[in-house]
Amino acid sequence: MRLHLVRHGLSAVDRSVPAHAWELDPAGYDAVWALRESGRIPDGAAWFTSPEPKAVQTAQLLTDAEVAVVEGLREHRRESTTWHDDFPDVVRRAFDDPARPAAPGWEPLARCRERVTTAVTGILAAHTDVPVVLVGHGTAWTVLVAELSGEPPDLARWESLAMPDLLSVEPLR
């Protein structure tokens, strides 16, 4: 079974609140609608989304189907509103040492991997007969793909992800 992972559309960045509270930027709606019309997302899928507003709003633009909100699909938690001009470098530090927060207020990446993998494993076990589409986040999907494929995290792929983007993977059984 193929698993379809959608990275949310363009975020409306608001430096006064943590990233998990950001909304979807209306300037990015066309890109989300283009993904919807691309034929790359399977018909008849079971849909799930992270509870973060930008992910929920992306899912609502992508499908008319019911979409379940799953707490475990949250992005790598970054509670701080501290802006990191070197954001890719800070995320790379999280991958280099996943047991430790890469910056103050950040969740250890190992905790994110465990949370997301547990949620997705449960979703896949309950939906063996239909395609599954998950709407979420780049870092969470990067650790999930590594976990499901048995390969190391692909940070070059993480850095190249668009908003929105679609990754389709075949989980190991």
Tens of pLDDT, residue by residue over 122-170, are 999 999 999 999 999 999 999 999 999 999 999 999 999 999 999 999 8
Q: How far, CA to CA in Å, does 29 sit from each of 1, 8, 60, 120, 160?
A: 29, 11, 11, 26, 19
Confidence bin at 172 (pLDDT 50/70/90) = low
Q: Mean pLDDT throughout 67-80?
A: 94
Q: Give the separation between CA 101 and CA 108, rounded to whole angstroms.
A: 4
Stated pTM of the model: 0.95
